[in-house]
Amino acid sequence: MVDFTKQPADKGFFAPIRFEADVYDCEVIGKVPTDMNGAFVRLGGDWLYPSNFKDDVPFNSDGYISMFRFKNGTVDFKGRWVKTERYQKDLAANRQLYGYYRNPFTDDPSVRDPEHPNRRTVSNTTPLAFAGKLYTLKEDGLPYQINPKTLDTIGTHNFDGKWHSQTFTAHTKLDPVSGELIAFGYEATGLASDDVFVYTLDKAGQVVHEARFKVPYVSMIHDVALTQKHVIFPVFGYVTSMERLKAGKEHWVWDSSKPMYIGILPRGSDGKDIRWFKGPERCMVHTCNARTEGNRVILEAPIADSNQFPFFASIDGSPWNPQKARHYIRRLTFDLSSKDDSYKEEIIIPNQSITDLIRIDQRYLSLPYQYAYAGYNDPNRPFDEARAGNLKGRVQNCYGRFDLRSGKIDAYFAGDSHSLQEPYFVPRAKKGAEGDGYLVGVASNFAEMRSELIIADAQHLEAGDIARVILPFRASSQVHGIWVDEDQLPFA
C-alpha cells in the first residue's frame, strides 16, 4: 500500500502519475509538420513508492521514460517506468527499500551495498540515442538500455566491459564533425571518490579512448562542454564526503567557501595534462556551448552566483537565497597561453534571467554558433494566478531564442495557464543553416490539468505555435528530453 501524504511537495502538477500510458493518434490543435518524423523522447522521475525521508530531493524519484512518436503528421504517446534493479526490488517488496538520494548507507539492510552505489540508480535524467541504441542516463549509475519501439527496459550497459567508471554522466556530447561521443563518469571509483574517467566512443558505439584525472574537490559534475580541441569540466560548491554519507546525510551540501574550478582537458590526452582554472563561488550545473579559438577556450553557460537548488542545504545552515540562484547566460574566456589560473567572466544577456535548461542547435555543438534556447518567466504576460496552485512562483511562461551576438530575444508565450518544461531544437534537415527548424517542449496546462507538446517555428517564436499535441492527462514531469530522427533508432 502506498502512502503519499508523507510528501507535501508532490501535489498538484508535481504529484506522481503512477500509471504507464499509450495514446494512439493524439488530439492536435493546429497542424503537425509532416517533415517531423521520429520522436521527442523525455526522461524524468515518478515515485513508484514515496521516499522514506521528508527532506529527500526530487532527483531520487524512479526513472520514467516517455515519447511523442511522430509519423507523417500524426503523433502517438507512450510512457513507461524504467524498470531498474531498484524499481523491481521495491515492487517485489511493496515498499521503498532505498533511502536518501545517492546515500546507500540509508538503504534497507536487504539491499544496502555501499561498495556498488551504481546498482541503486533510478536512471531518471536524460535519454540518449547513440549508435542505433536508446538509453536512459543518471550520473550515479550505468546507462539502462531501452527498447525504442516498446520503451521496455533491457538492462544496464557497460560497453563490452570497456567502461571502467562505476558511473556514467547524464550529459554526453556528440561531436557533429567526427560523429564521436564524449562521455565521462565522476565518483568513478566509488562513493565520494575524486576520480573522473573520460571516454571517447566511435560512431559504432565502441570505446576507443580513455582519460583519467582527479578533481580539486569532489563535486557534482553534472554537465561538461566540448570544443573541437578540449573538454571542459566545471567543479563547484556542491560537496560531499564519506563521513557525511556514513552519518546518513544527503549526498550534496552547498559550501559557499569553495571556488569554482574549471578543468580543461585536451581531447586525446590521457588526463595528465588537464589544466585547472579557478574563480569565485558560482553554480554551473548545465553548459550551453564552447569553442577553442587559437589559445583561447570560450564557454557560454547559464550560471548562478550560488546554490541553484532550494532542496540542497547549505553547509553553514544559511537559508537558500533565490536571488543568487538566478541564472544569467555568461561567457567565460580562458587563455591557455597565460601563466596564472584566472579567467574572464562576462554576463552576455544581462536583462533576462533564465532556467538553466538551455539548448542549442546540436549541429553546431563545439563550433561557432549564435543561438541558445531556454525557458524563462516574463512577469508582464497575463497569468491565471487563481489556478496556478503549487506552480505559482515557478511558472516558466516563455521560450526564448537568445541571440548571443546581438543580445536580442525572440519570445514564445505559452498562455496564461501554462508552464513550460525544457525546450529542444529540432533541425528541419540533417544539414542547414543554424536555427532553421522547430522548437518543441512540453507545457503543463494547469487550468485543464493536462500536458501539451508545443511545436513552434524556431525562427518565428513570437508568432506562436504551429501545433499543440494534447494529452488528456498530466504527463510525468521531465528532466531532459531529446529529439530522435526516424533513422537514428529501430522504432519499428
Which spans of this chain sit near ligand V55 (rule: CB under 6 A)?
Answer: 59, 124-125, 138-139, 222, 285, 479
Q: Which SS3 state, helix, strand or coil, does residue 204 take?
A: coil
Quote the cell numbers at residue 335.
587563455
Which one, of 287, 289, 284, 328, lies nearest residue 309 by Cα?
Answer: 284
* Backbone torsions φ then ψ of 298, nearest 5 degrees: -120, 125
- CB of residue 312 vs ligand V55: minimum separation in angstroms? 10
In the complex, the smallest distance separating the C-beta of residue 280 from ligand V55, rounded to whole angstroms, is 22
Our CB check for ligand V55 shows the closer of 140 and 281 to be 140
Q: How far is the CB of 7 from ligand V55 (least distance, A)?
A: 16
Smallest distance from the beta carbon of 403 to ligand V55, in angstroms? Answer: 26
- Give the strand pairing for 230-235 and 238-239: unpaired
Q: Taking the complex as a whole, how short is the minimal distance between the CB of residue 353 and ligand V55, in angstroms? A: 17
Question: Which run of H or of E encompasses 242?
Answer: helix 242-246
The beta-strand segments (E) located in 304-353 are 328-335, 344-347
Q: Which triple of cell numbers denotes residue 454?
A: 508545443
Minimum distance between the CB of residue 125 and ligand V55, rounded to whole angstroms?
4
The DSSP code sequence of 454-480 is EEEETT-GGG-EEEEEEPSSPPPPPSE
Closer to ligand V55 by CB, 65 or 298: give it.
Answer: 65
Number of neighbours of residue 280 by Cβ within 10 angstroms: 10
Residue 232 vs residues 77, 167, 198, 225, 369: alpha-carbon distances, Å: 36, 18, 11, 5, 17
* Backbone φ/ψ region at 114: left (φ over 0), alpha (ψ -120 to 50), beta: alpha
Nearer to ligand V55, 238 or 383 (CB): 238
Between CA 378 and CA 221 the distance in angstroms is: 30
The residue to which cell 539491499 is assigned: 111
| Residue 75 β-bridge partners | 70
* CB closer to ligand V55, 195 vs 250: 250
- Is the Cβ of residue 106 or residue 124 nearer to ligand V55 in the bound state? 124
- Of the pair 100, 438, the CB lying nearest ligand V55 is at 100
Residue 61 per-residue DSSP state: S
Residue 43 CB, nearest distance to ligand V55 (Å)? 9
Q: How far is the CB of 102 from ligand V55 (least distance, A)?
A: 7
- Give the residue at shortest CB distance from ligand V55: 59
DSSP per position, 422-450: --EEEESSSS-STT-EEEEEEEEETTTTE
CA distance 406 to 386: 37
Question: In the complex with ligand V55, which residue's Cβ is closer, 173 or 363?
Answer: 173
CB of 124 to ligand V55, least distance (A): 5
245 vs 285, beta carbon nearer ligand V55: 285
> By C-beta, is 82 or 470 nearer to ligand V55?
82
